[in-house]
């Protein structure tokens, strides 16, 4: 993730809607591919571009979810679509009549924009030309007197992926709820961006592995057809992860079924790619000109993780990079790297 500059010289961040120094409205400009300052011009805005540029001068309007709901910070070309490239992927959005849902939705969209940024940077396909295209549903369990009710099995919303559609139960956007689930499930981290990275892993299994390199997949992750997903799920919740799983898997949940192992390892790959990208942009580690090997990626990530773990511990926070990446997990990451590069036309 890059940092951006306002036309006044102040630093702008990916989620900014206003410059804290000059007060100008800011937003993502599709033409600049950056967060820039915007100047009102009649009934629309004009992109001023970053400091030192002439600005792209694009005439834009805020995305409808920016203007009306304050859950987005992207703009669209004047006279074009109502929704930005990220919001256009939404199939279902939270019920705005429920108190607190606007804040939950805003957190979901912020995490989703980060995901989309990363997919574009890696050159991964997800748009209308991809089969199936990626889409999102943000839904809540039914409410009882304004409190989360223990919904019957049939009405409960499950976070998951099916045929291009990623569904997220919006209670995950509630920090207290999410932390409770994290502790109950004994997870090292539980975050919104983590959910997006995991679920999009299932999506890319369908798009990039199914019917294309399933044999290679099986050799590393195991046979996804035997046992069936249903049987594996039952066994996992009855017996838990096998002893010594840490040697071969990135998380206990990954032991459930080869598809979950893939999604967990895919999420780790996106974690590492995003952290290294941002660390490079902030000047914490040297810029890498050439695409690097997974081995080199992991070396850089470990060095950074060591420092960030200690800094987090100083502040009493959870470890930044809690997982030990064993050779078996690194082997799976190499396969994912291959699949990603092939999809991006670099492999």
Binding site for Zn ion (CB under 5 A): 6, 8, 10, 19, 21-22, 29, 31-32, 47, 56, 58, 63, 65, 72, 74, 84, 87, 260, 263
Q: In what order do the strands lie in the sheet with 25-29?
A: 25-29, 34-41, 44-49, 59-62, 75-77
Residue 79: CB minimum distance to Zn ion, A? 16
Burial of 29 (0-12, 13-18, 19+ CB in 10 A): buried
Residue 242: CB minimum distance to Zn ion, A? 18
Residue 156: CB minimum distance to Zn ion, A? 16
Q: How far apart are the first and last CA of the chain?
A: 24
Nearest residue (CB) to Zn ion, 28 versus 276:
28
Nearest residue (CB) to Zn ion, 63 versus 170:
63
Nearest residue (CB) to Zn ion, 160 versus 331:
160
Nearest residue (CB) to Zn ion, 140 versus 201:
201
Choose among 166, 170, 146, 145: nearest CA to 156.
170
Residue 193 main-chain phi, psi, to 5 deg:
-60, -35
Nearest residue (CB) to Zn ion, 261 versus 297:
261
Residue 133: CB minimum distance to Zn ion, A? 17
SS3 at position 9: coil
H or E element in which residue 61 lies:
strand 59-62
Residue 86: CB minimum distance to Zn ion, A? 5
CB 251 within 8 A of CB 197: no
């Amino acid at each position: 993730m890059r940092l951006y500059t306002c036309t006044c010289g102040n630093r702008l961040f990916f989620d900014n809607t206003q410059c804290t120094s000059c007060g100008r409205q800011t937003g993502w400009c599709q033409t600049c591919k950056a967060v820039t300052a915007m100047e009102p011009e009649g009934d629309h805005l004009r992109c001023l571009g970053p400091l030192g540029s002439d600005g792209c001068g694009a005439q834009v309007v805020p995305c409808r979810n920016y203007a009306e709901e304050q859950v987005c910070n992207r703009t669209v070309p004047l006279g074009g679509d109502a929704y930005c490239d990220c919001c256009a992927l939404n199939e279902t959005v939270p019920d705005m009549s429920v108190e607190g849902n606007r804040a939950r939705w805003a957190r979901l969209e912020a995490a989703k924009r980060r995901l989309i940024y990363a997919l574009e940077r890696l050159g991964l396909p997800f748009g209308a030309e991809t089969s199936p295209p990626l889409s999102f549903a943000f839904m809540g369990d039914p409410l009882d007197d304004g409190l989360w009710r223990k919904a019957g099995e049939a009405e409960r919303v499950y976070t998951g992926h099916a045929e291009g559609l990623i569904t997220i139960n919006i209670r995950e956007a509630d920090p207290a709820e999410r932390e409770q689930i994290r502790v109950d499930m004994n997870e090292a981290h539980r975050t919104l961006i983590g959910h997006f990275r995991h679920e999009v892993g299932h999506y890319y299994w369908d798009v990039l592995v199914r019917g294309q390199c399933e044999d290679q997949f099986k050799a590393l992750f195991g046979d996804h057809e035997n046992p069936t997903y249903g049987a594996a799920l039952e066994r996992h919740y009855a017996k838990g992860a096998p002893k010594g799983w840490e040697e071969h898997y990135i998380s206990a949940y990954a032991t459930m079924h080869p598809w979950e192992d893939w999604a967990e390892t895919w999420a780790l790959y996106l974690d590492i790619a995003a952290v290294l990208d941002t660390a490079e942009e902030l000047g914490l580690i040297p810029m890498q000109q050439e695409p690097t090997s997974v081995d080199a990626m992991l070396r850089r990530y470990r060095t950074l993780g060591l420092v960030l773990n200690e800094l987090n511990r100083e502040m009493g926070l959870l470890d930044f990079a809690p997982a030990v990446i064993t050779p078996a997990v690194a082997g799976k990451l190499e396969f994912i790297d291959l699949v990603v590069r092939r999809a991006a036309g670099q492999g």
